[in-house]
């Protein structure tokens, strides 16, 4: 059932009792043309674009639990494309352009809100680094402007410019950047993919990958074997665990990335503010909660909790930069397990095993890329070769000595 004013009024008169389920609860069939392992935003988007743009509809999305409860439900919902390297700018701006029309495309409100992303500089070195980002982005045709401290304050009035620890010397602003509702992205893609015939199989855990003569032939799952010649591993922090089933060792280390939300406040924070020095970023959700991102824990872990020193660092900085928040209470804290690569850039492409595709290594910045990742990955799978925008991101770049050393990824050491 489409979301429309007519249907909203009609369902309202019936007490909202007749809304159908948003996606079918499917059980896996014995074979598929493409199986996506991982029911987060990237996996669901890939399935949607395979069905919608490429007519490949015998597609399954498998998730060991319910969809959207991994990093898709654990990020800080920021969308931006103000990266440094030309390859990354092209990739993330492709995603940002899809964000701008995504609600209409999916007939599902993903609440994309381009409220501006402000990146603060606290040292002379950071001023130079961020100015370089601004120039790199503008040369690539992507909006990013340099602001004086006073101009930054005009964009973000709660900002304290003269903190002793973290004085604001300037800021880069990408006005097209902003936030989107993370759960709605998973639900919207699942709903749209399911309507096109994609099977979304929740509670179906992959336990083995069958390879014969260097080619993928199928998957072993908790709901029985599935025969397929094409599968895509889109499992973020658990990518190494899955790849090991096929004998692959990926250049990935899994770290917790922590975030927390405050009690709801009246609207008081108009943009997204980020600080690379102190690994803290803040926005305000439509419910009024402050959504605060911290850094990654320094040790590898699969435990979705993290350790207090990291959030203490982030909150100290938030209180310095935004003194109005000093007495706000925090409600919830959690961590997502992010898949960090040596060059902070994702791995997208076919693995050395024919038919087994990888889309991982997004690290701390996967959410913003969700529509672009799915769109370009689906194109690549459908054509059997990487889309030109993702071609530089293949696994082979490490052996070739062509890493994409991306300094604009958030919350990681460089």
Partner 1 sequence: MLLIPCPFCGPREEVEMVCGGEAGAPRPTDPRALDDAAWTAWLYGRVNRKGPQNEVWWHRAGCGRWFLLARDTRDDRVLGSWPIGAAPPAGLGLGEGGG
Helix (H) or strand (E) holding 389: none
Least CB distance to partner 1 at residue 345 (A) = 13
- Which residues ranging from 275 to 304 are in contact with partner 1 (CB under 8 A)? 298-303
Q: Is position 251 an interface residue for partner 1 (rule: CB under 8 A)?
A: yes
Least CB distance to partner 1 at residue 362 (A) = 15
Q: Is position 241 an interface residue for partner 1 (rule: CB under 8 A)?
A: yes
22, 109, 163, 253: which one binds partner 1 (CB under 8 A): 253
Least CB distance to partner 1 at residue 290 (A) = 24
Q: Is position 3 an interface residue for partner 1 (rule: CB under 8 A)?
A: no
Q: Is position 204 an interface residue for partner 1 (rule: CB under 8 A)?
A: no
Which residue, chain included where needed, has tokens 């922590």?
258
Q: Is position 249 an interface residue for partner 1 (rule: CB under 8 A)?
A: yes
Q: Is position 254 an interface residue for partner 1 (rule: CB under 8 A)?
A: yes
Query: What is the C-alpha separation between 204 and 227, in angstroms, rounded?
Result: 15
Instruction: Identify which of residues 239 and 283 has a Cβ nearer to partner 1 in the complex.
Output: 239
Instruction: Identify which of residues 213 and 249 has a Cβ nearer to partner 1 in the complex.
Output: 249
Q: Is position 398 an interface residue for partner 1 (rule: CB under 8 A)?
A: yes
CA angle 39, 40, 42 (to 5 degrees): 110
Tokens, residue 138: 């503008």
Instruction: Identify which of residues 157 and 342 has a Cβ nearer to partner 1 in the complex.
Output: 342
Q: Which stretch binds partner 1 (CB under 8 A): 17-25, 48-56, 238-246, 268-276?
A: 238-246
Determine the size of the site formed for partner 1 (CB under 8 A): 22
Which residues, listed in sequence order, are joined to residue 154 by a DSSP beta bridge?
A: none
- Which residues ranging from 307 to 326 are in contact with partner 1 (CB under 8 A)? 307-309
In the chain, the N- to C-terminal Cα span, in Å, equals 48
173, 190, 250, 381: which one binds partner 1 (CB under 8 A): 250
- Which residues ranging from 330 to 359 are in contact with partner 1 (CB under 8 A)? 342
76, 144, 230, 240: which one binds partner 1 (CB under 8 A): 240
Instruction: Identify which of residues 200 and 360 has a Cβ nearer to partner 1 in the complex.
Output: 360
Least CB distance to partner 1 at residue 221 (A) = 18
Burial of 24 (0-12, 13-18, 19+ CB in 10 A): middle
Q: Which residues bind partner 1 (CB under 8 A)?
A: 238, 240-241, 244, 249-254, 298-303, 307-309, 342, 398-399
């Amino acid at each position: 059932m489409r979301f429309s004013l007519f249907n909203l009024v009609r369902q309202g008169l019936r007490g909202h009792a007749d809304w159908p389920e948003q996606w079918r609860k499917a059980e896996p069939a014995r074979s598929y043309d493409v199986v996506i392992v991982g029911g987060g935003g990237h996996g669901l988007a890939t399935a949607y674009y395979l069905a919608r743009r490429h007519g490949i509809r015998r597609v399954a999305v498998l998730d060991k639990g319910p969809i959207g409860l991994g990093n898709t439900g654990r990020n800080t919902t920021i969308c931006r494309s103000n990266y440094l390297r030309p390859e990354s700018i092209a990739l993330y701006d492709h995603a940002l352009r899809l964000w701008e029309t995504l609600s209409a495309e999916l007939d599902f409100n993903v609440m994309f809100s381009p409220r501006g992303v402000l990146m603060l500089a606290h040292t002379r070195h950071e001023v130079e680094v961020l100015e370089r980002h601004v120039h790199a982005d503008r040369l690539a045709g992507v909006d990013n402007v340099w602001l004086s401290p006073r101009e930054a304050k005009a964009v973000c009035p709660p900002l304290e410019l003269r903190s002793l620890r973290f004085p604001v010397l300037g800021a880069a602003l990408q006005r097209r950047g902003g936030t989107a509702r993370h759960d709605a992205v998973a639900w919207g893609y699942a709903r749209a993919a399911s309507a096109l015939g994609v099977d979304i199989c929740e509670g179906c855990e992959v336990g083995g990958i069958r390879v014969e003569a260097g080619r993928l032939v199928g998957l072993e799952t908790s709901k029985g074997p599935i025969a397929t010649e094409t599968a895509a591993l889109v499992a973020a922090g658990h990518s190494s665990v899955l790849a090991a089933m096929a004998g692959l060792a990926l250049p990935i280390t899994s770290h917790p990335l922590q975030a927390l939300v405050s009690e709801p406040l009246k609207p008081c924070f108009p943009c997204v503010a980020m600080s690379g020095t102190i690994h803290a970023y803040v926005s305000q959700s439509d419910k009024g909660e402050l959504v605060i991102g911290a850094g990654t824990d320094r040790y590898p872990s699969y435990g979705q909790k993290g350790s207090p020193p990291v959030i203490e660092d982030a909150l100290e900085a938030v209180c310095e930069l935004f003194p109005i928040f000093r007495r706000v209470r925090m409600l919830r804290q959690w961590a997502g397990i992010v898949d960090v690569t040596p060059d902070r850039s994702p791995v997208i492409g076919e693995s050395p095993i024919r038919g087994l595709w990888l889309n991982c290594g997004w690290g701390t910045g996967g959410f913003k890329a969700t529509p672009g990742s799915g769109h370009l990955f689906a194109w690549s799978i459908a054509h059997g070769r990487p889309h030109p925008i993702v071609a530089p991101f293949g696994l082979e770049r490490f052996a070739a000595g062509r890493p994409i050393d991306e300094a604009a990824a958030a919350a990681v050491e460089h």
